[in-house]
Amino acid sequence: MRRGIRTEIDWSLIGAELAKESDNEQIKFFKAFLAEAKTYGTHHQTEMQLICIGNGLTDTEKEMIQTIGH
């Protein structure tokens, strides 16, 4: 895993900034996130991490993110 950032991260700020970016920049983010997730070890571990993320989202948020697959 890359650990270039060594300070506390303001995830709310990063999310807000990402939301303002172009679709091309957002695509780069999701590709990098998923590529890193694939390094967890097994496909099962990656799936479990994504399930945990999903469990932390509201139904509305899950519905919004679901459209990425369309």
**SS3 sequence of 5-48:** CCCCCCHHHHHHHHHHCCHHHHHHHHHHHHHHHHHHCCHHHHHH
Q: Is residue 56 part of a domain?
A: yes
**In total, how many domains does the chain have?**
1
> Is 32 a domain residue?
yes
Residue 35 · residue 47 · CB < 8 Å:
no
CB 3 within 8 A of CB 9: no
Provide the residue range defining the domain that includes 25.
11-69
Angle between helices 23-37 and 43-55 (to 10 degrees): 130
Identify whether 65 is part of a domain: yes
The whole-model pTM stands at 0.78
For 3-52, the pLDDT digits (tens) are: 676 788 899 999 999 999 999 999 999 999 999 999 988 999 999 999 99
Q: Is the pLDDT score of 67 beyond 70?
A: yes
The answer as to whether 1 is a domain residue is: no
pLDDT of residue 1: 54
Q: What pLDDT sits at residue 11? A: 94
Q: In which band, very low, low, confident or very high, does the pLDDT at 69 lie, cut at 50, 70 and 90? A: confident
